[in-house]
Structure 1
Amino acid sequence: MGHRLGRMLSSLVLGVAAAAPVQAHAPADTAMVPDPCAALAAETAGLASEAAEALRARRDWPNLCRYAAANAAVRARPDTILIGDSLTEGWTAGNPAFFSERVLNRGISGQTTPQILLRFYADVVALRPRTVHILAGSNDIAGNTGPTSEAAYRNNIQAMVDIARAHDIRVVIGALPPADRFWWAPALRPAAQIRQVNGWLREFAAANRIAFVDYHSAMTTPDGAMRPGLADDGVHPNPAGYAIMSALAVDALR
């Protein structure tokens, strides 16, 4: 009798479960929406530029929306993607001939390596490039997203390399260009730290059989400043500076 009752109850429960409709959450019930970039655009519409940027920085700290539309429009597999901060972003204006539908720029001004790491999958891996060129770290030294450490910086670079290699993407690492001043952080004297970071990047690249491009040696003065004529603000290369970088990058990317 007990076994029969148990079977009857089980059948009843299964029948109720089968008859009950599956409740799916509507988009309004969760913060996971089909297009967060469209949602962000709607939130910032009509705001003053400073307020809109402040809201974007809170909602999209790594700036995943910056290249979302451009990434969706990519059809052919890129040969190379350059990812980094303003030194990479400004490359397109400094030497537009360097880029094409096969060589893409995914630099964002002001970013530090934790931000670049967070968008590495969306802006690099998802596009399946053959090679990624990583140039990042000046803004870590400048403290753009707060104080950090060399260990944290190294972890972020190594994580990007690990992700790329896990997806069979060849890696090229660029040395940080020289600078003895950051105009947006005038109290800092970054020349020695840049040399130290570049020394680690060179050793890391050699130990891991990664191509290393020494932009610093080609552009520096003896005291670690940018050579005259290669940057208008002492940090960001002008067309003459990007001409040097492009020639070095072409050799490495080959």
Structure 2
Amino acid sequence: MRSCILFFLLLITAGSLSAQNVDTDSLKNKPKKENFADDWAALTKYQQENAALLPPKRKEKRVVFLGSSIFEFWKQKDPKYFNNGRYLDRGISGQISPQLLIRFRQDVINLKPKVVIILAGSNDIAGNTGHVTLEKIMDNIKSMAELAKLHHIKVILCKYLPVYQYPWNKSVPAAEQIMALNELIVAYAKQKHFTVLDYWTPLVDERNGQRAELTVDGVHPNVDGYKIMETVTDAAIKKALKSRN
């Protein structure tokens, strides 16, 4: 009788241990959810839009606009410009160039565009996250351009819009820094035979800031400013699509 009881207890113990092992194994194999609590580059902002986006059709000439508030506010102020189904706005207000670089695979490469328009550097200059050198900004722009070329995406690099003074950081010599950055961007684009999109020239005033009638705050364009940008953007896209690079 005693031996039967011992045998029964051993069976129960073995079964319990087996169940624990199964539970442990299932927990190990269970896929972990990504934690975006510290989503520095705001990867979640366009995740749903990207997931809902169908692959481009065979002859579709998809274009991604990668930048910060200039691009994000553009779609808000003139949504019709982006209603053609080909232009994808992936601007996020306040972002600096390393954040754009982090987003580049998700918000550009994976969308399989024919062209990417890269507008970067102003928030870096403004000191949104501390001091950043022009050389570091260019390193990030170059990395994005090289990634695009590797994936057969035509590159358009933008001369940044003129800014005389940042309202939130008046100590920065904005006009001087943006002009210097634009020179570096143009030189690099010429070296690599990338298309240059000049937003600076049609918007600039005598102080090397934005023309008062075309801006809301000296940094961001109003609707009239965006209309001018649309004209030069469309021309640059046509040029890029015809280029060999």
Q: TM-score, normalised by structure 2?
A: 0.81
Deviations 1:1-43 (A, max 9, x none): xxxxxxxxxxxxxxxxxxx999465478xxx834x3xx55xxx
Give the Å deviation of 1:225. 1.0
Quick one: which of 68, 87, 106 aligns to 1:85?
68
- Are 2:53 and 1:99 equivalent residues in the alignment? no
Q: What SS does structure 1 have at the residue aligned with 2:89?
A: strand
Are the equivalent residues in 1 in contact too, given 2:158–2:197 (CA < 8 A)?
A: yes
Match of 2:111 in 1: 127
> Which amino acid in structure 1 is aligned with residue 161 of structure 2?
P
Give the Å deviation of 1:85. 0.5
1:71/1:27 CA distance change after superposition, 3 Å: farther
Q: What SS does structure 1 have at the residue aligned with 2:212?
A: coil
Give the total of aligned pairs: 212
Match of 1:68 in 2: 47
Match of 2:148 in 1: 164
Match of 1:51 in 2: none
Match of 2:94 in 1: 110
Q: After TM superposition, what 4+ stretches of structure 1 lie above 4 angstroms from structure 2?
A: 20-25
> Which amino acid in structure 1 is aligned with residue 215 of structure 2?
A
Give the Å deviation of 1:148. 1.2
- Are 2:228 and 1:249 equivalent residues in the alignment? no
1:143/1:25 CA distance change after superposition, 3 Å: farther
Are the equivalent residues in 1 in contact too, given 2:66–2:116 (CA < 8 A)?
A: yes
CA RMSD of aligned residues (A): 2.0
> Which amino acid in structure 1 is aligned with residue 45 of structure 2?
R
Q: TM-score, normalised by structure 1?
A: 0.79
Are the equivalent residues in 2 in contact too, given 1:76–1:102 (CA < 8 A)?
A: no
- Are 2:182 and 1:198 equivalent residues in the alignment? yes
1:27/1:148 CA distance change after superposition, 3 Å: farther
Deviations 1:78-109 (A, max 9, x none): 61000000011111123222213211000000
Q: Which runs of 5+ in 2 are unaligned?
A: 1-20, 239-245
Partners in 2 of 1:115 and 1:123 — Cα distance? 11
Match of 1:138 in 2: 122
Are the equivalent residues in 1 in contact too, given 2:157–2:197 (CA < 8 A)?
A: yes
Quick one: which of 200, 212, 220 aligns to 2:196?
212
- Are 2:16 and 1:33 equivalent residues in the alignment? no
- Are 2:218 and 1:229 equivalent residues in the alignment? no
Superposed, 1:9-48 pairs within 5 Å as 23=25, 26=28, 33-34=32-33, 36=34, 40=36
Are the equivalent residues in 1 in contact too, given 2:55–2:112 (CA < 8 A)?
A: no
